[in-house]
Every structure is written in C-alpha cells, then in structure tokens.
Amino acid sequence: MDEVRCDGVEVVRGGFRLGPINLTIGRGVTVLVGRNGAGKTTLLQALVGLVPAVAGRVEVAGVAHGDRRRRAELARRIGYVPQGAEAPGGARVVDLLRYAAWLKAVPRAETAARVADALDELDVAHLATRRARTLSGGERQRVSIAMSLVHRPVLLVLDEPSVGLDPVQRVALRGLVDRLGETRAVVVSTHVVADIDADDDTVVVLDAGTLTFTGTAAAVAAGARPGDSGGSDLERGLWRLLGAGA
C-alpha cells in the first residue's frame, strides 16, 4: 500500500488553523493550489512530518507520523524539496547526493548505485562533477529533486518547484514531474495554472485552511462558467473554486 492518507488532520500555527483534512493521495501527481495564506505549505509540512497535527492522523504507506518506533522507516518513505532549497555552492553534485543518501541511512554498499540511479532518473548524470554554484536554476532544481529521491521514497513532496524558472525550464520540469508520478505519489504546490496537467493531475484546493475541492483537473475545468476570468477553462474553473467568481 503506497498511498498517503490524512484522516481528520488539524494543524495550528499561531492564529492559523488548517483542517480538518481528509484526503487520500495515490500514485501520480496531485497539485495543491490556493491563495496566499491558504495553508498549502502547512499541509505539505504535515505530510512530511515537519509540523505536528493537533488532531487526526497522517499515514504514509501504512506508517503513521507519531509512531516513534518506526520514525526512521517513515523518513525513508518520504522525499521533500522545500521552496527555495539551496545547496553549498562549492559542493559537487555527486557529493550532495552521497550526503543525502547518508542522511537517509542508505546502506554504504548501495550508495553508489542509488546515487547513479537518481542522477539518471533526473537526467543530471552529466552534472555529477559540477559545483552547485555553477548550475542554472533548472539544473539546481533537478539536483535538489535527485537528492530527495536517492533513498527511493514512495512519496515526493515539492513546494513551489517552478518558482524562479524560465518558461523553457518550467516546461521541462513539468514533464519531469509527470514522469516521476508514474512510479510514486508526487504532491506539488503551485500558484501557476500552467504547472497543472489538464489531462492527468488530481487537484486539491485549499481556502483559508479548509479543503474545498478534490478532483481531476478536467472536473475543475468543467466548473468554469461564461464570464469567469481566465485564459482557459482550467484557469476559469480555479478562479471560481477560489471564490473570485462568487
């Protein structure tokens, strides 16, 4: 069972409350959208265990956050790339991946193969000996994702991965995310409608800490109405879901 489950999850941060969230995430790409302050990053951090839930339960492939006996096992099931992730500029790409493998307790005998696989999967093997400071924005993002996959997690969480990328890099990243979703659950937060695959993605909409919609991108587009703002049915459907059309 590789799915991710949120059962009645609630998180409190200062005066902000997220939830209760009831959500099941399976293999493929799930895109999390919402206005600024809707709780997207808070939900992602709850999924990866960086913020505790005051109520409810998060499970990743059958292992719950809060199960102290299986904490290390749970960490190995999750890959996370926060927004604006940075690496030491003087480090070589291959050394960054080796370090990520060590952090996730990949057995030493398997490290070389895991690093090679991650470099190949992200199409960055040709960058292995480059220093991080010499990489373009798109290359740095791919390396960050490779670091999060070196331990072969079942859940990959990407917080605003396309921020700062140019249009060509954004399209390349979109194709990469689609490919990664073929073998694992990938959760992506974004403000950019173009980051959503209108054919295949699941869309989750948050509004002021409340989950207001879960469904296909096609269902979002089908909710568009004449007169709604946006350049496509998907944009118009999101505009309506986010309350701008009310």
Q: What is the DSSP string of 38-67?
A: SSHHHHHHHHHTSS--SEEEEEETTEETT-
Q: Please give the pLDDT value at position 124.
A: 93
DSSP 94-149: HHHHHHHHHHTT--HHHHHHHHHHHHHHTT-GGGTTSBGGGS-HHHHHHHHHHHHH
For residue 12, tell me if it sits in a domain: no
For residue 222, tell me if it sits in a domain: no
Q: Please give the pLDDT value at position 16.
A: 92
Range of the domain at 124: 82-152
For residue 60, tell me if it sits in a domain: no
Q: Please give the pLDDT value at position 2.
A: 58
pLDDT means over runs of 10, the chain (246 residues): 85 91 93 91 92 91 80 85 84 96 94 95 93 92 93 93 84 89 92 78 91 91 85 87 68
Q: Please give the pLDDT value at position 244.
A: 63
For residue 127, tell me if it sits in a domain: yes
* pTM, 2 dp: 0.90
For residue 141, tell me if it sits in a domain: yes
For residue 99, tell me if it sits in a domain: yes
Give yes or no for a contact between 58 and 5, defined as CB atoms under 8 angstroms apart. yes
**Euclidean distance between CA atoms 246 and 244, whole angstroms:** 6
For residue 123, tell me if it sits in a domain: yes
For residue 129, tell me if it sits in a domain: yes
Q: Please give the pLDDT value at position 156.
A: 95
User: Which 3-state string (H, E, C) describes 9-45?
Assistant: EEEEECCEEEEEEEEEECCEEEEEEECCCCCHHHHHH
| Number of structural domains the chain divides into | 1
